Structure 1
């Protein structure tokens, strides 16, 4: 029995933790809520969340017979992350600022911990074992609580000069006036995200548009909007068309710049499939010329992509021995 590796994917709403063997096979995973007791205030020490993660990791390790046999841990965190220092510089959807994430988890787990931006780890996972397998030039977009991109060029992850590459969600959209958690108005992720889709649906109901979404009690999720699309609800379909076109116009610029082989859409809102892909595809067909269209697909690994990418990150940083 070799040593195990832990992969952790932290999202704005939920966090998934998985244990892998040294062949990068996922043995077991669990999902826990992402604790945000300070949000929207900022913190540099989300101590309660650190303790919860450590507790769940230790239980996974024990359940799978890997006590004293875990080599290292890889973690994906949404926001601006310095993978060299292990510090989360800023995560606006979590309320983090200058959080020494890797160090705090190392104290609790007793093994090396490596972190990176969650979408970069998602991209690693899809490139290694999912919809991007075999491609060297990829743009991955995740539509969850927020929205960001992971970019691979010639097989290498792009991090940027100060680790902010891929934060397409904070590019502003003309005519959009929603306040973003980053403090700006009109950021792309206020539209193109699961939370953005939910907001648009709530507004449609409040405007008394004729839609079956009016039957929902309380919050309307992006999944609710997708389910309404399956019932041919015109308002729900229009919401995804608006989101898809808005996202596509931003992706076009990135595509002209980078010429990727594949664009992969992931995150909670990606479950809408053709309802989110079709409007993006139409924009590309109308505007992207003089080159072959990139392969536009939904991520195939679901929430395991971030886990696999996080575990892969850890394995690349530390040697695993019996």
Structure 2
């Protein structure tokens, strides 16, 4: 595994304590941005001379750099220090149901390269094709610091196994472990919805907030939960599977094998399925009825352009989603709900109907001052969050 000279020496207790202090400084700067020596000393409960010495060493190893002086009313202005964003580059695998993105990104969220690969996640050869693509990318890019994998489905925290998409596992090994053994790099798995929430927490609409829900409206429905400033994972890492809460006991069969899950009435798959059924029945619509391949983007575009049939479908999905979210609002009492995923492209068509439904099904005290918004970060939130997850895990590795 690639190492860093700053963290190599762990021979004595003093060395280990010093390395632990390095990681605490770096974690603080990563999460909070630049800070002065005095404030850092206060935050990590260490003396000013000790922090000064450690910052000097971190500067020598190019982990931190000076970020300018703080504004003060009088006296000498203290110098602020921050993470050197170009120090490390991570490779992020952003896995979606029908497309996988390979992104090299530095600690400043600057994307070095991005490659998209269209392949169905349920395809049996998925793992082989992904590894072949990583092989090619590592030949033309410098070796990354580590790899972060964002993927949909139930991902167990300890093993990294994906219980929803079995093609991401090989012989009871997670994709992360398979790549780690092959490339001798640190590789970490995170659920895609949780990655998006982590990105929002560090860089977006959940920054400086303590209670936020992020609903991932994709081909399924995922829920990211920020509760009292902490992202909720659950005992095994499965927290937030809102899409598999039963809302209709006599409803349709879900892909998970259960009946009447929220995903059967409130997802991108629902919209496409309803649109195809309506076309088959001869409903009046501006959608091209001769086109055998109907895509979600077609329905959203038609709705935005005023097609009543398409608007009604999105309205129904938003209404059902709002019902499901009302349960989550009553459980977690959030200050903000962030709409993410492919359905965010429907904009106010989906947000307004979700708001109406929450307004109808939530108790008054819960919906007062509750914002329902689409993040301007969009798909970048997931990439930024995965990179942040990699940073956190690498700091844990150095500390231990």
For 1:5, the equivalent position in structure 2 comes to 90
For 2:76, the equivalent position in structure 1 comes to none
Confirm or deny that 1:52 pairs with 2:129.
Answer: yes
User: Over residues 52-95 of structure 1, what are the superposed CA-to-partner deviations in whole Å (9 max), with x where a residue is unaligned?
Assistant: 3344445445555x23xx2211112211112222222x115968
1:18 Cα deviation after fit: 1.0
Structure 2 segments unaligned to the other structure (5+ residues) = 1-85
Do 2:146 and 2:185's aligned partners in 1 also have CA atoms closer than 8 Å?
Answer: yes
Relative to the length of structure 1, the TM-score reads 0.87
Instruction: Pick one of 84, 107, 114 that aligns with 1:29.
Output: 114
Structure 1 segments unaligned to the other structure (5+ residues) = 39-45
Query: The residue matched to 1:318 in structure 2 has which SS?
Result: helix
Do 2:248 and 2:259's aligned partners in 1 also have CA atoms closer than 8 Å?
Answer: no
State the distance in 2 between where 1:107 and 1:316 align.
21
User: Over residues 23-56 of structure 1, what are the superposed CA-to-partner deviations in whole Å (9 max), with x where a residue is unaligned?
Assistant: 3432222221244465xxxxxxx6x433433444
For 1:198, the equivalent position in structure 2 comes to 272
For 1:108, the equivalent position in structure 2 comes to 182
Alignment of 1:126-275 (within 5 A): 126-174=200-248, 177-215=251-289, 217-275=291-349
For 2:386, the equivalent position in structure 1 comes to 310
Query: The residue matched to 2:148 in structure 1 has which SS?
Result: strand
- Of Structure 1 and Structure 2, the greater helix share is in 2
For 1:290, the equivalent position in structure 2 comes to 365
State the distance in 1 between where 2:161 and 2:128 align.
17
Confirm or deny that 1:91 pairs with 2:164.
Answer: yes
1:199 Cα deviation after fit: 0.4
Q: Considering only CA atoms, is the larger Rg found in Structure 1 or Structure 2? A: 2
Do 1:244 and 1:276's aligned partners in 2 also have CA atoms closer than 8 Å?
Answer: yes
State the distance in 1 between where 2:122 and 2:329 align.
38
Do 1:12 and 1:94's aligned partners in 2 also have CA atoms closer than 8 Å?
Answer: no
Instruction: Pick one of 78, 91, 100 that aligns with 1:15.
Output: 100
State the distance in 1 between where 2:120 and 2:230 align.
32
1:124 Cα deviation after fit: 0.9
Query: The residue matched to 2:145 in structure 1 has which SS?
Result: strand
Report which stretch shifted further, 284-293 or 12-21.
284-293
State the distance in 2 between where 1:9 and 1:128 align.
18
For 1:300, the equivalent position in structure 2 comes to 376
Report which stretch shifted further, 306-315 or 176-185.
176-185
The count of residues paired between Structure 1 and Structure 2 equals 309
Do 1:245 and 1:279's aligned partners in 2 also have CA atoms closer than 8 Å?
Answer: yes
Report which stretch shifted further, 136-145 or 274-283.
136-145
Distance 1:23 1:55, change over 3 A: farther
1:227 Cα deviation after fit: 1.0
CA RMSD after TM alignment: 2.5
RCO greater where, 1 or 2, for CA within 8 Å and sep 6 or more?
A: 1
Query: The residue matched to 2:365 in structure 1 has which SS?
Result: coil
